[in-house]
Amino acid sequence: MGKTPGTIKKTSIAVTINGESHELEVKPWQTLLDMLREVLHLTGTKEGCGDGNCGACTVILDGREVNSCLVLAPEVDGSEILTIEGLSVQGVLDPIQRAFVDHGAIQCGFCSPGLILTTRAFLAENPHPTEPEIRVAIAGNLCRCTGYDKIVRAIMSLARP
Amino acid sequence: MPQFDYAAPQTLKEAVDLLEQARGRALPLAGGTDLIPQIRKAAKQPALLVDIKRIPQMSRLEFVPGKGLHLGAAVTCGSIMRHPQVRDMYPALGQACSQIGSRQVRNRASVGGNVCNGAPSGDSLPPLLVFEATAGITGVSGTRQTTLEELVVGPGRTTLGPSELLVEIVVPLPAAHSTSEYCRLSLREEMDIALVGVAVLLAVEPDTGRCLEARIALGAVAPTPIRVRDAETVLQGRKITERLLDRAADLAAGAATPITDIRASAEYRREMVKVLTRRGLKACLSRLTRQGGGRR
Amino acid sequence: MSNSTKYIGKSVPRVEAADKATGRALYGADIHLPGMLYAQVVRSPHPHARIKSLDTGPALAIEGVKAAVTARDLPALTDIGRALGNEGAMGLEWFRRLVLAHDKVLFEGQAVAVVAATTPEIADAAAGAVAVEYETLPVIGDVLEAMRDDAPLLHEDLYTATLGEKPTRPSNIAAHQEVARGDVEKAFAEADFVLETTYKIQRVSHGYLETQAAVARAEPDGRVTVWTSTQGIFNAQRQICAALSLTQSLLTVVPMEVGGGFGGKTYAAVECLCIMLSRKAGRPVKLVVDKSDALRAAGAGAGAYATVKASATKEGRLTACSLQLVYDIGALPNSHAPGGMRSLGPYKADNLKIEARNVVTNKLAALMYRAPGSTQGNFAVESHMDAMALGLGIDPLTFRMINAVEEGDDDLLGTTFGPIGLKEVLNRVARHPTWTKPLRGRNRGRGLALGYYTGLVNTNSSVLLHVHRDGSVTVVTGHVDLTGTRTALRQIVAEELQVPLENVTVQSKDTSSAPYSDHTVGSRTLYTFSLAVHSACGEVLAQMKERAAGRLGVDPGTVRYSEGMFRAGRGKSKSISWQEITRLSVRQLGGPITAMGSATSNHPPCFAAHITDVEVDPETGKTRILRYTSFQDVGRALNPGLIEGQVQGAVVQGMGWALGEELMYDQGHLQNPNLFDYRMRTASDVPFIDNVLIEVPAPQNPYGFRSVAELPIVPVPAALANALFRATGARFNNLPMTPEKIFWALREGSPSSRRRL
């Protein structure tokens, strides 16, 4: 049995999100996803499935991409987080965002923030991947609209020097 | 999401004390990639989660020359698969880690969690069984060591007490002239679970081609991952022929006791044990031949 | 329309792509309002049960719970409501059961009650506290079972809808349709070659990543606003007002960006729940459906059994074909047959017959899923035509060419084909390397399948055009943009008005601001909107020419317009610019320039051929798709990039349907309500999808456009099945074609024990 509502205190955390420091009161069971969306209203991070099977809620936590629905808010105390809102500076698209837009890799757009962040973390690790490597790298991000074709092409355009 | 408390102790003692005080209502939290969804659908209902990731020992990932590999219980699958010595000396373990979930999942999921979860299909277990890895466990009454084969006793069940913690997994040096391979069959290429997983470790005498050591472990086809010693024995000491491979594969399939579920039938799984056992052995043989004898 | 175009035919990026790439785009779940409550649904654990008692009292007693709603809160149906609500595929009575279960639950996960509270945690606890007592009833899990004479009835008042007389007894067969020409039985008896096979197609999920999400705010004076992820704001408005007895002018439905629809966001059930709660609580209410609940209870793509019998002369001329379809439409009667009725569309034969039945079961409703009913029928027919060709010893493409319909032929539904592109599609295939270059290697095979689809009939799209003082143009639509329609309409308007693309903005507005449009379904959007926009642009130019004529002192009939200038006669003295007219219009030329365009239309027939190469691992049965090419007649490609994207997405959905996606049931209980065991394809499961766009202009459209986005899912399972046949020598009549099924098919004398075949 879990606890009944109201018996558990909130806990306070310090976290840097998109370069800004925040001191936040969070509930122990709150996910990072809910913290971003419900507390900070950073709604660019999407909830697709809530159990780590779709990748829509991907954010970059201390340099590595994670499903924010599988991370608890108190776990990120002291961490640095990059969400989709932190990627473009003053309205100028980041090169990955630019490539997704220009290649027609965005249709409904619900998977796009997660895919763009996975791409960022992946290319930081492997700047010149092959097509099969790209396909494996984004396998954790489901997309129902594009058939992945233009997404893979967008990433390939970034992978070529 | 059901509600629970959260604690992030800095030492093993604090962690064990917290577990002890909670009298069975606390669970350790490593990557959370299995645990959080289970809590969400109320399959597990802890009152407290004890986050072990801030305990230094839990994050140890170190290869000690002449001894082996130390994997802290919270080390992520991503770190393990990227580790150069894992890739060189423990290929089956690296392969298994690289097949768990997605990049996002591997950046959180730990091998410790994979082991403690006790899932018959846990990808890291068959490789750890063929390496004859041991588990370092700590509890209120001290520490103990056990083999992984003894640790996992049934689907979702281990010999860990409610206030015991898996601290690290120690993977001994693989035998001389050996290599290893993990073969997995799943319905999708990525983001999937093993219908069958087979880990093989094979050592072959370079000059004679005689099998010095063979170890085979199966995942997802029995209540726990299992070693198939009958299949190992037929290979031991002999030159490996196609017929012998078939014999070992048949013995492995015979040892499997798979179930039918929504993913596959028991019969299909059993057939696939044969295929993957053969493939694992062949992959090892071909690597050993190519490298002229594998690890020395 | 001249042949040289500036914007039509260009792959312009989607206008809203940057908003989506940066996280600025707002979807249904992204709305936060002050004082907003969170809703949670109480869902039935049983697929079929009578509700013996239902008490929301214990939930309301929890601190922070502000409202609870059950079917008892639904108002009595009014005649106006009935008239409003019975338009569409699902009748109003059934739609209200999609909102909330009445006296019995008909499928697992059906909403029984809904509560609203100040936090999601309290809402969860409150939902758990609602007391429901059920008396379980026998579950009807399969259509064949449901059709038996002694089968228990799901609905005691359901009578089979037919073209003939009303039956005397109620039945689980919701509808029975039949069309025929000639005499198939006689043709079968006289034929050189006859083949009959039954195929089975599994239920699937639409697979949108964003689940249903809405926020409603009811005002004390009766006005209501709802922000929602819907495929059609006016259809949602109509359904809500009919079900809840609201006045349409008091309800504003605001379209949000939609995280995938594919037909699954065409019924406004979640919106109704939010509105009912908000009216009770006097506060805004948000409801976001959990993914497992969406899989269990929101809507599915229909499963089906299909029996095909066909006969041909030994030269390969099809003499007759019959198709019997039985759709598993789930618990709430709705229409799936029309898609299936087109399944023989590509074939000319003197004797054709199609019979389709919609049968109810204790499963969630099958809602329209991308070309509803068509993929199911097509899998059977195109697998069968492949087998016919093989049986006759004729190349499968040649067999199609011998029997393909062309202009002047009649389809089974009584329409005579105008100019259609099927022959052009087949000719392109015949010359294309994807077909002509031999496929080498063991365990490999190449498959071909045709597809045919026409969009919905009799749907409307309307637009408002405003030309501003600075010369820029706003296009207002009440249309939900799923497929890039804002981008497409912008291209057409810029082309027609000869203004820069940057000066045209298309806005999808709400039901109180925009003129009527039907929902974004049935591949209807661009086709019908282009007609509406064409007429609005013509009206704008007519107004402006008249004003130019007045300024220039000439007869309006002599004014010509091009490239931003209105000219009369020869020379520069008689001209006035676009900007000059827009600047002067409001004060001096008679008022603002504004026009409405509206069109109600049917949609032209569209044809496609798909070619795929596969390789099978003979030891495991796993399939790898090596190559996939779609050939489709698009009439005219407005934006090739957008079209390719639609085709590629549809093809990969079809690959999932063919190879692994399946809603698996055990006595009405869904066994895989998650995206782990409901396996949509990932990027690593599929290759690039090549596109060949063929342009045979549709005569009724000023630009020649045809419908695009649904057709490319239709041939995929059959193309893969036909390729797998050549790779393995085994015919797969039962979807999905999982590795295990392929393995056992390859293994003769396989054990006959309980395996899922």
Question: What are the pLDDT digits (tens) for C94-109?
Answer: 999 999 999 999 999 9
* Subunits with 3+ C-beta pairs closer than 8 A to B: A, C
Q: Do B1 and A31 touch (CB under 8 A)?
A: yes
| pLDDT score at A89 | 86
| pLDDT score at C2 | 47
Closest partner residue to A108 (CB to CB) among C21, C260, C675 is C260
pLDDT digits (tens, 9 = 90+) for B161-186: 999 999 999 999 999 999 999 999 99
Closest CA to B78 of B119, B49, B111, B107: B107
CA distance to partner chain B, nearest, from residue A68 (Å): 9
Q: Interhelix angle for C92-99 vs C269-281, to 10°?
A: 60
Residues 160-199 of B with CB under 8 A from A: 188-191
- Average pLDDT value for chain C: 95
- Average pLDDT value for chain B: 96
Residue whose tokens read 């697992």: C108
Alpha-carbon span C731 to C397, nearest angstrom: 18
Residues in a beta bridge with C67: C116
Q: Do C291 and A49 touch (CB under 8 A)?
A: yes
User: Which chain B residue shows the shortest CA-CA distance from C737?
Assistant: B187
pLDDT at position C457 over 90 = no
pTM beyond 0.95, yes or no: yes
Closest partner residue to B265 (CB to CB) among C121, C660, C740 is C740
| Confidence label for C3 from pLDDT (cuts 50, 70 and 90) | low
Name the least confident of B252-261, B263-272, C331-340, C715-724: C331-340
Give the pLDDT mean for C443-462: 93
| pLDDT score at C163 | 79
B-chain CB neighbours of A25 within 8 Å are none
Cβ atoms C40, C121 nearer than 8 A: no
Q: Which helix (H) or strand (E) holds C39?
A: strand C37-43
Give the pLDDT mean for C122-126: 97
Give the pLDDT mean for C446-474: 95
DSSP string, C525-578: HHHHHHHHHHHHHHHHHHHHHHHHHHHHTS-GGGEEEETTEEEESSSSSSEEEH
Alpha-carbon span A109 to C454, nearest angstrom: 27
A-chain CB neighbours of B4 within 8 Å are 2-3, 8, 28-29
Q: Do B265 and C681 touch (CB under 8 A)?
A: no
C17-56 burial, b if ≥16 CB within 10 A, otherwise e? bbbbbbbbbebbbbbeeeebbbbbbbbbebbbbebeebeb
pLDDT at position C749 over 60 = no
- Residues C710, C713, C715, CA angle at the centre, nearest 5°? 120
| pLDDT score at C572 | 61
C357 three-class SS: strand
What single letter denotes the amino acid at residue B146? T
Give the pLDDT mean for B92-121: 96
B-chain CB neighbours of A3 within 8 Å are 3-5, 47
B-chain CB neighbours of A140 within 8 Å are 101-105, 190-191
C195 three-class SS: strand
pLDDT at position C1 over 70 = no
Q: Where are the alpha helices (DSSP H) in B118-241?
A: 125-130, 148-151, 229-235
Mutation target for A interface from B104, B188, B191: give the one with most A CBs within 10 A.
B104
pLDDT-flagged residues of chain A (< 70): 1-8, 160-161
Q: Do C30 and A43 touch (CB under 8 A)?
A: yes
| pLDDT score at A91 | 84
Mutation target for C interface from A54, A106, A117: give the one with most C CBs within 10 A.
A106
Alpha-carbon span C40 to C287, nearest angstrom: 7
CA distance to partner chain B, nearest, from residue A123 (Å): 12
Closest partner residue to C685 (CB to CB) among B189, B193, B265 is B189
A64's tokens: 């590595």
Give the pLDDT mean for B130-144: 97
CA distance to partner chain C, nearest, from residue B272 (Å): 7
| pLDDT score at C454 | 86
A-chain CB neighbours of B190 within 8 Å are 136, 139-140
Alpha-carbon span A143 to A107, nearest angstrom: 9
Alpha-carbon span C696 to C699, nearest angstrom: 9
Residues in a beta bridge with A61: A64, A81
Q: Do A102 and C262 touch (CB under 8 A)?
A: no
ipTM of the complex: 0.97
User: Which chain B residue shows the shortest CA-CA distance from A67?
Assistant: B104
pLDDT digits (tens, 9 = 90+) for C476-525: 999 999 999 999 999 999 999 999 999 999 999 999 999 999 999 888 99
Cβ atoms B182, B97 nearer than 8 A: no
pLDDT at position C264 over 90 = yes
| Residue B136: DSSP 8-state | E
pLDDT digits (tens, 9 = 90+) for C348-407: 999 999 999 999 999 999 999 999 999 999 999 999 999 999 999 999 999 999 999 999
pLDDT digits (tens, 9 = 90+) for C566-624: 999 876 679 999 999 999 999 999 999 999 999 999 989 999 999 999 999 999 999 99
Q: State how beta strands C351-359 and C318-328 pair.
A: parallel
Closest partner residue to B5 (CB to CB) among A1, A8, A140 is A8
Q: Do B267 and C755 touch (CB under 8 A)?
A: yes
| pLDDT score at C756 | 36
Question: In this complex, is the C-beta atom of C119 within 8 Å of any C-beta atom belonging to chain B?
Answer: no
Closest partner residue to C121 (CB to CB) among A5, A109, A143 is A5
Torsion sign (Cα): C448, C454, C455, C461: positive
| pLDDT score at C415 | 83
Alpha-carbon span C478 to C491, nearest angstrom: 18
How many beta carbons lie within 10 A of that of residue B224, not counting itself? 22
C250's tokens: 């008091």
C-chain CB neighbours of B1 within 8 Å are 121
Q: Do B188 and C738 touch (CB under 8 A)?
A: no
A-chain CB neighbours of B191 within 8 Å are 53, 139-140
User: Which chain A residue shows the shortest CA-CA distance from C653?
Assistant: A144
Mutation target for B interface from C615, C685, C757: give the one with most B CBs within 10 A.
C685
Q: State how beta strands C251-255 and C224-228 pair.
A: parallel
Name the least confident of B33-37, B66-70, C86-90: C86-90
C-chain CB neighbours of B275 within 8 Å are 619-620
A-chain CB neighbours of B31 within 8 Å are 70
B-chain CB neighbours of C740 within 8 Å are 264-265, 268
Closest partner residue to B102 (CB to CB) among A69, A72, A139 is A139
Closest CA to C107 of C94, C92, C89, C124: C94
Give the pLDDT mean for B128-152: 97
Closest CA to C527 of C712, C264, C703: C703
pLDDT at position C661 over 60 = yes
| pLDDT score at B7 | 97
CA distance to partner chain C, nearest, from residue B3 (Å): 8
Closest partner residue to A139 (CB to CB) among C13, C652, C682 is C682
Q: Do A140 and B53 touch (CB under 8 A)?
A: no
pLDDT digits (tens, 9 = 90+) for C727-744: 999 999 999 999 999 999
pLDDT at position C757 over 50 = no
CA distance to partner chain C, nearest, from residue B268 (Å): 7
| pLDDT score at C569 | 80
C-chain CB neighbours of B265 within 8 Å are 740, 753-756
Cβ atoms C138, C395 nearer than 8 A: no
**A40 burial type by CB count under 10 A (0-12 exposed, 13-18 middle, 19+ buried):** middle
| pLDDT score at B137 | 98
pLDDT digits (tens, 9 = 90+) for C415-449: 899 999 999 999 999 999 999 999 999 999 999 99
